[in-house]
C-alpha cells in the first residue's frame, strides 16, 4: 500500500475550525509546565508561527550553504545534508512549490515578492528544554497561495520522554494514523487571529508531525492568512516520513 493510499483511508477531508490562538498558546504553556516534553516539536514551531521566536544554538552557522560537487556528498556537514534532504522531499511531493525572495515570516506584506526554485534558507540547530535538533523556515508560494513553511527534525533530551502523541480532546481538527513503517503521524489544523501592532491578522496553520520508532520527531508546518493551505496533509506527511530526513 502506498503512502497516499494509507493517508486517503486515514485522513479524509476536514476544514479548519476557528480557535482563539492566544488562548491556545496560554493553555499550551500551562500544559508544558505540568508535563515537560509533550509534543515539543509542534509546540515550539507553533510559537515561531505566532511570532514568539525560537532560540537557536549560539554560534550556529547561518550563512549560505557552499556549493559542493555531487561526488563529495559524504563530506557534507549535517546542516548541508539535511538541507539537501529537505529540498529533495519538497521537490518530490510538491514539484510546483516555489520560494519567495526576501519574504519575512513575520510580515505578510513581503510575501508577494518574486519567487525562486531554491529555498532561500539554511538549516540551523535548535535547543529546547526537552528536545534538540535542526530546523529550516522560509516563505513559499504555490500558485496563488502564499504561506511560510517550516520543517524540523529532533530527538528528546536524555531524561525526557514524549507525552502522548495521539489526538486528544483539547486538540483542534486533529487526526492521527500510522505510517507505512509503523510511525505515528499526527495532523492538526488551527485557525485564529494574532495582533501585529494595531492590526489583527488572520492565522491559518497546518501541522503534521511524525514520531518514529527510534524517538525522532519530524514536523512540517504551513502558516498562511487564507482558507487555502500551501500543502495537503498527505504531501506534508510524505515529506516528514522521508527516511533521508533523519539525525546523523
DSSP string, 49-64: HTT----B-TT---SP
Asked if residues 208 and 233 have their Cβ atoms less than 8 Å apart, the reply is: yes
Which of 42-51, 97-106, 168-177, 229-238 is the most confident on average? 229-238
Find the mean pLDDT for residues 160-177: 74
Domain boundaries, the chain: 3-52+78-240
The maximal CA–CA distance of the chain, rounded, in angstroms, is: 52
Of residues 163 and 17, more confidence is placed in: 163
Asked if residues 144 and 175 have their Cβ atoms less than 8 Å apart, the reply is: no
Beta strands in 19-178 (DSSP E): 98-100, 115-116, 124-127, 131-142, 145-156, 174-178
- Amino acid 23: pLDDT: 47
* Verdict on whether the full-model pTM lies above 0.85: no
Share of the chain above pLDDT 90, in %: 40
Report the alpha-carbon distance of residue 234 to residue 187 in Å, rounded: 9
* Alpha carbon distances (Å) from 183 to 214, 222, 243: 10, 21, 11
pLDDT, one tens digit per residue, over 110-125 is 888 899 998 888 899 9
Answer positive or negative: Cα dihedral of 19, 22, 25, 29.
negative
Cβ-based neighbours of 9, under 8 Å, separated by 6 or more: none
Asked if residues 230 and 142 have their Cβ atoms less than 8 Å apart, the reply is: yes
Report the alpha-carbon distance of residue 73 to residue 31 in Å, rounded: 42
Report the alpha-carbon distance of residue 137 to residue 124 in Å, rounded: 9
Question: Residue 52 above 70 pLDDT?
Answer: no
Give the mean pLDDT of the chain: 74
Taking 3-state DSSP, the helix, strand and coil percentages for the chain, each rounded to the nearest 5, stand at 25, 30, 45
Q: How far apart are the first and last CA of the chain?
A: 29
Find the mean pLDDT for residues 222-243: 91
pLDDT, one tens digit per residue, over 195-220 is 667 767 777 889 999 999 998 999 99
**Beta bridge pairs of residue 154:** 133, 217
Amino acid at each position: 500500500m502506498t503512502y497516499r493510499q494509507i493517508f486517503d483511508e486515514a485522513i479524509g477531508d476536514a476544514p479548519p475550525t476557528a480557535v482563539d490562538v492566544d488562548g491556545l498558546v496560554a493553555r499550551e504553556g500551562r500544559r508544558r509546565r505540568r508535563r515537560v516534553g509533550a509534543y515539543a516539536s509542534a509546540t515550539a514551531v507553533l510559537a515561531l508561527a505566532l511570532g514568539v521566536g525560537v532560540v537557536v544554538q549560539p554560534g550556529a552557522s547561518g550563512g549560505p550553504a557552499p556549493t559542493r560537487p555531487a561526488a563529495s556528498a559524504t563530506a557534507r556537514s549535517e546542516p548541508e545534508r539535511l538541507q539537501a534532504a529537505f529540498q529533495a522531499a519538497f521537490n518530490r511531493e510538491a514539484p510546483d512549490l516555489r520560494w519567495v525572495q526576501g519574504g519575512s515570516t513575520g510580515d505578510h506584506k513581503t510575501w508577494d515578492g518574486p519567487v525562486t526554485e531554491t529555498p532561500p534558507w539554511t538549516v540551523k540547530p535548535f535547543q529546547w528544554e526537552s528536545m534538540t535538533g535542526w530546523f529550516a523556515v522560509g516563505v513559499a508560494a504555490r500558485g496563488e497561495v502564499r504561506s511560510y513553511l517550516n520543517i524540523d527534525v529532533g530527538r528528546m533530551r536524555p531524561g525526557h520522554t514524549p507525552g502522548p502523541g495521539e489526538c486528544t480532546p483539547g486538540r483542534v481538527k486533529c487526526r492521527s494514523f500510522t505510517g507505512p513503517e509503523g510511525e505515528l503521524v499526527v495532523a492538526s489544523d488551527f485557525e485564529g487571529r494574532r495582533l501585529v501592532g494595531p492590526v489583527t491578522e488572520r492565522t491559518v496553520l497546518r501541522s503534521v508531525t511524525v514520531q518514529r520508532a527510534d524517538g525522532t520527531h519530524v514536523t512540517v508546518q504551513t502558516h498562511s492568512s487564507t482558507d487555502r493551505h500551501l500543502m495537503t496533509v498527505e504531501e506534508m506527511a510524505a515529506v516528514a516520513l522521508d527516511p533521508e530526513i533523519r539525525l546523523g
